[in-house]
């Protein structure tokens, strides 16, 4: 099964080597460490056979349960850079469980690169029984970045790099939700997914006045290597500028660039099959795409019964992302996990990415502990192994989804699904074997339209369904327009595709609602 467990983070065994050569090169003043230095190592690795890393964990750490791993906590008074006058600090994750191979960490200063050495003194092991002699030469599993995001006198965790090429980022007033990744390979293919791994990091020591942190990473996997530069800018909306240089060792079936991983269990478009006081349970509820031709597409997410892959052919994309639309607490009613505070992740390509497609993978899951949603860009053509690929993009982590749209494009606020029915002469609603969908569109310019504006729907459905009814009406509650659909599905064992948008004459008012009703069996 292709499910990526949040705890496991999709970690696969990889291999790291020393960066001693780099240390020797950069001991003189006047040099400047850059992504090109990491790229040299990545390109060199791509020309060699992949060497899988070997676990260095003693059995009591390798076989521990997650509850025991959680007991190993970083000693906050030992945070890296805590004695410097800088707003950024580092804390580290200990090895344990499936985090069984170390990542190397380095600090980059004005005139040198030096390794950040592991020491058990960084950690409090709680009640975990262990032999101090067996762990003194272990390493770090990853790291986190602290910054006074929400209050000047309190450090908040804003970024975490842990497992494979996964990293999480949040802005002001947000809590962790979806994850980003460096690269995805062969996601949802029968051959099985390959999980590249960040095996080595270089982190620039920030100056006291710096409002950004620069992180470099070396990626490695059986069929790809890569050099990455991340510029982290924390704020109400935290942004990360990403630059990558990727090299293939061998041909791949599918290369996923700028992958986002999230969770969708249920929501109004796919209600919970069992009674639950929480109306929705998801980190994200839709894929948004801004195509190169200017079209906006909204694809509500599903938790299907079978693996589902949706492809959107897009040339020169302007942006795409997994969004959490809907910020009212009553949409989630969860005081512990606060899904209403989880960020949307938006990817803004820098430069022309050319021809390719945005791909959405939806994987069945029975609970919220599994990340079952993946979205990424895949180029139409890939170079021969060893040739460099360059990708630049900006990652936005925000709770202000309105800012992602221009005022003249209305967007989908709600997708509601229910049993279709017809009102009888006695006013009783009688189910008629159809399915009903309610789609609410809202937007800045749309809210200024008179309520008698002749707004009409443009609706289409795939071969597996027929439209029984379609209508649109003004919604005085949100000053938008509500589309009502009733459809009849021909074969419940097959998915059904639908698309809809609202127009006024020859002017398109809204993004395109693109929905796939999953197979019911």
Let me know: does 390 contact 431? Beta carbons within 8 Å.
Answer: no
CA-to-CA separations, 507 to 86, 260, 278, 444, 503, in angstroms, rounded: 52, 33, 39, 16, 6
Question: Whole-model pTM?
Answer: 0.92
C-alpha R_g of the chain: 25
Two tokens, residue 60: 């009591």
Which is it for the CA torsion 508, 398, 367, 362, positive or negative?
A: positive
Q: Could you tell me the CATH number of the domain that includes residue 108?
A: 2.70.98.10
Task: Name the β-bridge partners of 299.
Answer: 287
Q: Which residues contact 285 (CB under 8 A, 6 or more apart)?
A: 264, 267, 269, 300, 301, 323, 324, 325, 326
Nearest to 283 by CA among 195, 441, 399: 399
Q: How far apart are CA 194 and CA 223, in angstroms?
A: 8
Nearest to 499 by CA among 236, 310, 326, 266: 310
* Residue where a domain terminates, one of 375, 404, 433: 404
* Closest by Cα among 226, 229, 160, 164 to 397: 160
Looking at 67-153, which runs of residues are DSSP E strands? 73-74, 89-94, 104-108, 113-115, 123-124, 140-151
Same domain, 390 and 481: no
Q: How far is CA 117 from the centre of its chain?
A: 30
| Strands 179-181 and 166-169, sheet pairing | antiparallel
Report how far residue 412's alpha carbon sits from residue 405's, in angstroms, rounded to the nearest whole number. Answer: 11
Q: Burial level of 101, CB count in 10 A (0-12/13-18/19+)?
A: buried
392 shares its domain with 509: no
Instruction: Point out the domain boundary residue: 365, 385, 404.
Output: 404
Q: Are residues 179 and 326 in the same domain?
A: yes
Contacts 24+ apart (CB under 8 A), 167-170: 167/230, 169/232, 169/238, 169/240, 169/343, 169/395, 169/397, 170/238, 170/343, 170/397
Asked if residue 467 and residue 320 are part of one domain, the reply reads: no
SS3 annotation, 366-400: CCCCEECEEEEEEECCCCCCCCEEEEEEEEEEECC
Which domain-ending residue is among 404, 433, 461? 404
Q: Are residues 116 and 177 in the same domain?
A: yes
Q: Are residues 387 and 477 in the same domain?
A: no
Q: Let me know whether 390 and 416 are in one domain.
A: no
Element housing 71 (H / E): helix 66-71
The Cα–Cα gap between 302 and 363 comes to 9
Same domain, 82 and 228: yes
What pLDDT sits at residue 30? 57
* CA gap 410, 406 in Å, rounded: 8
CATH number of the domain where residue 449 is located? 2.60.40.10
Supply angle C-alpha 160, 253, 37, rounded to 5. 50
- Phi, psi for residue 144 in degrees, rounded to 5: -130, 160
Q: Which domain holds residue 185?
A: 4-404
- Co-location of 145 and 68 in the same domain: yes
Which of 27, 471, 35, 474 has its CA nearest to residue 244? 35
Total domains in the fold of the chain: 2
Say if residue 301 is in the same domain as residue 449. no
Q: Same structural domain for residues 163 and 284?
A: yes
Each of the 521 residues of the chain gets a pLDDT tens digit; together they read 344 444 433 333 333 334 444 444 444 445 799 999 999 999 999 999 999 988 999 988 999 999 999 999 999 999 999 999 999 999 999 999 999 999 999 999 999 999 999 999 999 999 998 888 889 899 999 999 999 999 998 999 999 999 999 999 999 999 999 999 999 999 999 999 999 999 999 999 999 999 999 999 999 999 999 999 999 999 999 999 999 999 999 999 999 999 999 999 999 999 999 999 999 999 999 999 999 999 999 999 999 999 999 999 999 999 999 999 999 999 999 999 999 999 999 999 999 999 999 999 999 999 999 999 999 999 999 999 999 999 999 999 999 998 888 899 999 999 999 999 888 888 888 889 999 999 999 999 999 999 999 999 999 999 999 999 999 999 999 999 999 999 999 999 999 999 999 999 999 999 999 999 999 86
How far is residue 393's CA from residue 317's CA, in Å, rounded to a whole number?
11
Say whether both 435 and 461 belong to one domain.
yes
């Amino acid at each position: 099964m292709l499910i990526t467990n949040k705890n496991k983070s999709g970690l696969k065994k990889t291999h790291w080597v020393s960066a001693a050569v780099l240390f020797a090169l950069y001991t003189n003043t006047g040099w400047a460490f850059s992504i090109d230095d990491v790229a040299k190592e990545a390109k060199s690795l791509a020309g060699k056979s992949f060497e899988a890393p070997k676990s260095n964990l003693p059995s009591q750490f390798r076989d521990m349960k997650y509850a025991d791993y959680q007991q190993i906590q970083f000693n906050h008074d030992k945070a890296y850079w805590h004695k410097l006058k800088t707003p950024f600090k580092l804390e580290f994750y200990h090895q344990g469980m499936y985090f069984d191979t170390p990542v190397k960490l380095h600090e980059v200063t004005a005139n040198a690169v030096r390794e950040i050495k592991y020491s058990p003194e960084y950690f409090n092991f709680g009640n975990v029984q262990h032999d101090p002699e067996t762990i003194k030469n272990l390493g770090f599993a990853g790291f986190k970045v602290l910054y006074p995001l929400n209050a000047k006198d309190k450090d908040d965790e804003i970024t975490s790099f842990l497992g494979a090429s996964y990293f999480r980022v949040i802005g002001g007033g947000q809590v962790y939700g979806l994850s980003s990744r460096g690269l995805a390979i062969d996601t949802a293919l029968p051959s099985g997914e390959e999980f590249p791994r960040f095996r080595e990091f270089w982190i620039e020591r920030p100056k006291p006045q710096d409002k950004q942190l620069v992180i470099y990473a070396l990626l490695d996997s059986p069929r790809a290597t890569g050099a990455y530069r991340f510029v982290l800018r924390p704020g109400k909306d935290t942004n990360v500028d990403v630059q990558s240089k990727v090299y293939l060792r061998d041909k791949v079936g599918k290369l996923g660039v700028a992958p986002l991983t999230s969770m969708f269990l249920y929501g109004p478009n796919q209600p919970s099959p069992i009674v639950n006081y929480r109306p929705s349970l998801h980190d994200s509820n839709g894929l948004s795409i801004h195509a190169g031709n200017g079209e906006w597409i909204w694809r509500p997410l599903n938790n299907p019964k079978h693996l589902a892959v949706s492809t959107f052919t897009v040339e020169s994309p302007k942006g795409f992302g997994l969004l959490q639309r809907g910020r009212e607490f009553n949409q989630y009613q969860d005081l512990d996990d606060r899904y209403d505070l989880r960020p949307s992740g938006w990817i803004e390509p820098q430069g022309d990415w050319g021809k390719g497609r945005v791909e959405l993978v939806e994987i069945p899951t029975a609970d919220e502990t599994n990340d079952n949603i993946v979205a990424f860009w895949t180029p139409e053509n890939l170079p021969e192994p060893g040739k460099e690929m360059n990708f630049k993009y900006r990652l936005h982590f925000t709770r202000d989804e309105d800012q992602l749209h221009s005022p003249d494009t209305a967007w989908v606020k709600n997708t509601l699904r229910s049993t279709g029915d017809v009102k009888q002469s006695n006013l009783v609603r009688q189910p008629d074997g159809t399915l009903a969908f309610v789609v609410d569109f809202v937007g800045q310019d749309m809210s200024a339209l008179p309520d008698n504006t002749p707004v009409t729907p443009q609706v289409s459905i795939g071969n597996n369904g027929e439209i029984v009814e379609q209508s649109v009406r003004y919604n005085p509650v949100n000053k938008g327009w509500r589309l009502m659909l009733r459809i009849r599905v021909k074969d419940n064992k097959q998915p059904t595709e639908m698309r809809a948008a609202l127009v006024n004459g020859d002017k398109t008012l809204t993004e395109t609602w693109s929905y796939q009703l999953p197979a019911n069996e």
